Structure 1
Amino acid sequence: MLRKTKLATAAWAAGWQRLLLGLSLLLVAAACSSTPGNIGVGLPSADANTGAYLVDTLTIRASTVLRDSIITSSSNLLLVGRYRDAQLGTITAKSYVTFALSGTFAPDQALVYDSLVLVLKPNTYRYGDTTKTQTLVDVHRLNSFVPTTQYGYASPKLTPMSSRVQPASVNDPAQVIVRRATRRLTTLRLRLSSALGQEMLNAGKARLLDTQEQLDARYPGLALLPGAADEAALVQFAANNTESALILYYHNPADASTVLSYSFSLSTGRHFYQAEADRSAIAGLSTLTTSLQQINSALTTQQTYIQGLLGLQTKIEIPYLVNLRSLGQNIIITSAVMTAQVPDNVRLTSSLLPPPAVLNLYTTDQANHPVNLIQSANVLSGANTIDYNAAVANLAGISQAGYEWSVLSYCQGVISGQITNNGLLLNTTAPASPERVVLGGPNRNNNRLRLRLYLISNN
């Protein structure tokens, strides 16, 4: 409910009456489609010297939006693995790579095959439980690759790959690596099947791999998949590392002690990775299947989600913001602060990285496309970023992890008519990464999404 302080002087009496009438109309409009949770709590005393008033009873709506057009083919990274997220379901990441000739490949007819090894260079990035063992990595041949004129998307729906992946693994069965994906792992050498290695050596001897076009036609690339039973962590690899390669080893029988080899390097710009989540057991989210679709927080246990790689964003709407115009022509908003917290029931396990350190805020159209990036001053740091903080005070005055930022420019723009009130999209600044955060919805008893708006009237 709204409260007021005594006016500092009798001159404020007439202005206060107009303000009270306008705010009453605003509450009536908001109450028409809101639940008691939208009405909020009482307001602290206004400043008697400035005539400033706090409104924290505006209805807020929050939804999770799916936007699956995340491009990963422009990344210098690969991602492979699978882990179970209690909030988002089981998440699986796969990578697809092609290879390039490193100079002329013209092996002599007398050479004898030794082995074929795929060398990958993991960095220190892990997402999931690194105490569990997992297969590093299950390799499959591709029968075709994505044309160079097309992007590779994180969503399998946008870049279908299942029909391009041959079902049989080409790992050497005796050399499959199953271990914990510790951050100390800096080089991964995967022994591949002798059949594939011998085939490549024979193709080289027959001069069928003289050009890049020939290599692409005969060996379009490899799929890097998690093991069928894996449920541990996502592992990131540096695709642009010069040591990453498919290395064919052989020798000359006349000099068996001398190791000979040829490296097919990873093709620059011709690799990408994908991720998908099995959300079938997650309340509400299982129905989120269409790009730009949104699902209200009332259907997802009063929670919203942000996860860049899966294309999950949080949409925030203030449907009755324009009703503030009824307070008069000279209403001035001096502060508008949005607080979003991680719910008490959502615990960040030690196996997952912290939530996104910085979020972006966009205006949106009715179809949930991001329109303009808003420079939103952080309430805690003063910087033009929305930063994750482990100590954002909740309604009970207890510190709780979350985000707090200014929406002053948006509110002013809506009131002035310069911005259409379609709402705001909150998204990670690293859309191709799997860090996620769960935020409380507007109708929770605690850790709820809330807006505090200060205004003054000069009427």
Structure 2
Amino acid sequence: MIRTIPKPKKSKRHFLWLLGMKLMISSLLIFFFMSSCTKEGTISLNNTNDNIGAEIADSITVRTATYQLDPLPANGKGIMLVGEMTDEATGNLKASSYFRIGNSAISSVTLPDDAVFDSISLALPYQGYYYGDTSLTQSFTLHQVTEEIKLIDESNAWEEDEKPVFGSGSTLFTNNTFRYDTNPLGAISFKPKPTSKTDTVFVKLNQMFGEDLWTKVKSGSNQVTNSEEFLEYIKGFVLIPSGKTPALTAFPTDSILMNIYYSYTRTADGKKVQENLQMKVDDTTHQFNSLQIDRSQSLLSALKPDAEGELSSDQTKQQVMLQGLSGLVTKIQFPYLHEFVNRNDVIINKAELTIETPPSSHTPYTAPSTLNIMLADEHGVPKSLLTASYETTTQAAYLVNDLSGGTRNSTYTFNLTEYVSNYRGAMEDTKSSLYLTIPVSDLLTKADRLLIAKSDDSLPIKLRILYTKY
């Protein structure tokens, strides 16, 4: 006979204890998963914790190209850029600057009866920015513009859905030009001292031009006293680089002066006195920097400088480029990121984008100290700027130079945690992209460039993701 031993009955207290343990374990698991999603600084990409199953994915496919934006808006930026730079990678860039001189200083001036004209010159104090080799001589010529410098109305400048994040108001673009007299009013050759706060470049102007202007000023002609008639008389000027000098030099628009020097005999003591009238740029909105770009002998020979287009890194010897003023940016896409992020067993902890650049590519044009990323829509239009993850400020990546004697690549690093996490549950859109660029505040006023090249079979642009697999 088999005897059955009855199971002991569990007490109500024992049941409540088990229920409490289950609830506590569930709460801990939920807390752990939530922490993994939101606290991006708790785990470094250089260290993993085996206890929580953290892993690093550093082989996410990154598709890169050198992308040409439409010509950039160029007026009213406060900086006159003049010079030329030649680069095997990006080609030849020549910058000229158009501007208008106002009549406020001469519209109601009273001159001594015996005042006589001496000379006229253009004074160009340095702004501080330069790019390239300033140890060589630079040469400029100044020309008189023969047609009205007219802004392009905002409604004609962009279609509403094509307006970039840096576009606003009526404008002039970097590819705009205006007719000018080919006979120069003046010329200058000099060795630039762009960081000097006291030196000024003086361009002596044509004596006949000065005498004609002086005659109208002294007689009180409507051509100088009336603003509209003055703009008919002197429509503007353009500074053009001459010679082959691998450097750009900047001058502040609001400090440019056209000086009319004159002399007279002082009644009080009979001494001869020399003074000058200082004409300045009254309207800075009509000053702009115009570019001539020739890429025929460069790696980008197939990329037109005045229309949108791109060349993949496969077409440029595994190199990609970016450059201010010219509108070159590095286009970055992650074609398989959506699939990875939306796996059921993955939680994103942190994501970083690293960009490496070889020291050999920094001569004679130094690498930018800072980079930004623009977010482009499916039509390729940059609509916004990448912000710091889970913040509203624009994110900047700073150049970290190699400390081993210049043999390793320098790097920039962006935090893409929020950007990558936003792929979770989102509709896949492989047409959207990131544009790597110099800071947008400099994009329209500086020619800084960066060459990003593959070396030692190492990809120069990598996306590394720290994730929890459960």
Q: What TM-score bracket applies, with the shorter chain setting the length?
A: 0.7 to 0.9
Amino acid at match of 2:235: P
Query: How do 1:276-355 residues align onto structure 2 when only pairs under 5 Å count?
Result: 276-324=292-340, 327-328=343-344, 330-343=345-358, 346-349=360-363, 351-352=364-365, 354-355=366-367
Tell me which residue corresponds to 2:191. 180
Q: 1:300 to 1:278 in 2, by over 3 A?
A: same
Higher strand share: 1
Query: How do 1:40-51 residues align onto structure 2 when only pairs under 5 Å count?
Result: 47-51=49-53
2:125 to 107, 121, 127: 121
The separation in 1 between residues aligned to 2:202 and 2:177, in whole angstroms, is 28
Tell me which residue corresponds to 2:421. 412
Q: Residue 194 of structure 1: CA displacement?
A: 0.8
1:138 to 129, 138, 141: 141
Q: 1:409 to 1:377 in 2, by over 3 A?
A: closer
Q: Residue 259 of structure 1: CA displacement?
A: 2.1
How big is the alpha-carbon RMSD for the aligned residues of Structure 1 and Structure 2? 3.0
Q: 1:214 to 1:105 in 2, by over 3 A?
A: farther
Amino acid at match of 1:339: T
* Runs of at least 5 residues in structure 2 that lack an aligned partner in the other structure: 1-44, 154-169
Q: Give the secondary-structure state (helix, strand or coil) at the position aligned to 2:292.
A: strand
Runs of 4 or more consecutive aligned structure 1 residues displaced over 4 Å after TM superposition = 43-47, 105-111, 148-152, 252-256
Give CA-to-partner distance per residue, 1:313-337, whole Å, 9 cap, x none. 1111110112225632x52111222
Q: Give the secondary-structure state (helix, strand or coil) at the position aligned to 1:177.
A: strand
Amino acid at match of 1:223: V
Structure (1 or 2) with the larger CA radius of gyration: 2
User: Is the contact between residue 105 and residue 210 of structure 1 (CA under 8 Å) also seen in structure 2?
Assistant: no
Q: 1:232 to 1:445 in 2, by over 3 A?
A: same
Amino acid at match of 2:328: L
Tell me which residue corresponds to 1:11. none
Tell me which residue corresponds to 2:434. 424
Q: 1:57 to 1:216 in 2, by over 3 A?
A: same
Query: How do 1:57-136 residues align onto structure 2 when only pairs under 5 Å count?
Result: 57-101=59-103, 102=105, 103-105=107-109, 111-135=115-139
TM norm structure 1: 0.77
The separation in 1 between residues aligned to 2:342 and 2:112, in whole angstroms, is 87
Give CA-to-partner distance per residue, 1:140-168, whole Å, 9 cap, x none. 00012322565554522xx232xx22111
User: Is the contact between residue 361 and residue 376 of structure 1 (CA under 8 Å) also seen in structure 2?
Assistant: no
Q: Give the secondary-structure state (helix, strand or coil) at the position aligned to 1:169.
A: coil
**What is the aligned-residue identity percentage?**
21
The separation in 2 between residues aligned to 1:288 and 1:115, in whole angstroms, is 44
Amino acid at match of 2:55: Y
The separation in 1 between residues aligned to 2:354 and 2:316, in whole angstroms, is 19
Q: How many residues align?
A: 391
Q: 1:373 to 1:420 in 2, by over 3 A?
A: farther
The separation in 2 between residues aligned to 1:402 and 1:76, in whole angstroms, is 31
The separation in 2 between residues aligned to 1:230 and 1:256, in whole angstroms, is 47
User: Is the contact between residue 389 and residue 419 of structure 2 (CA under 8 Å) also seen in structure 1?
Assistant: no
The separation in 1 between residues aligned to 2:466 and 2:89, in whole angstroms, is 35
Tell me which residue corresponds to 1:446. 458
1:155 to 167, 174, 190: 174
User: Is the contact between residue 149 and residue 235 of structure 2 (CA under 8 Å) also seen in structure 1?
Assistant: no
User: Is the contact between residue 254 and residue 280 of structure 2 (CA under 8 Å) also seen in structure 1?
Assistant: no
Tell me which residue corresponds to 2:401. 390
Q: Residue 73 of structure 1: CA displacement?
A: 1.7
* Runs of at least 5 residues in structure 1 that lack an aligned partner in the other structure: 1-42
The separation in 2 between residues aligned to 1:334 and 1:232, in whole angstroms, is 46
Amino acid at match of 1:218: Y
Tell me which residue corresponds to 1:371. 383
The separation in 1 between residues aligned to 2:202 and 2:403, in whole angstroms, is 45
The separation in 2 between residues aligned to 1:327 and 1:46, in whole angstroms, is 20
User: Is the contact between residue 331 and residue 455 of structure 1 (CA under 8 Å) also seen in structure 2?
Assistant: yes
Q: 1:110 to 1:384 in 2, by over 3 A?
A: closer
TM norm structure 2: 0.75
Q: 1:276 to 1:153 in 2, by over 3 A?
A: farther
Q: Residue 444 of structure 1: CA displacement?
A: 7.1
Q: Residue 90 of structure 1: CA displacement?
A: 2.0
Q: Give the secondary-structure state (helix, strand or coil) at the position aligned to 2:119.
A: strand
Q: Give the secondary-structure state (helix, strand or coil) at the position aligned to 1:267.
A: coil
Q: Which moved more, 1:301-310 or 1:251-260?
A: 251-260
User: Is the contact between residue 413 and residue 419 of structure 1 (CA under 8 Å) also seen in structure 2?
Assistant: no
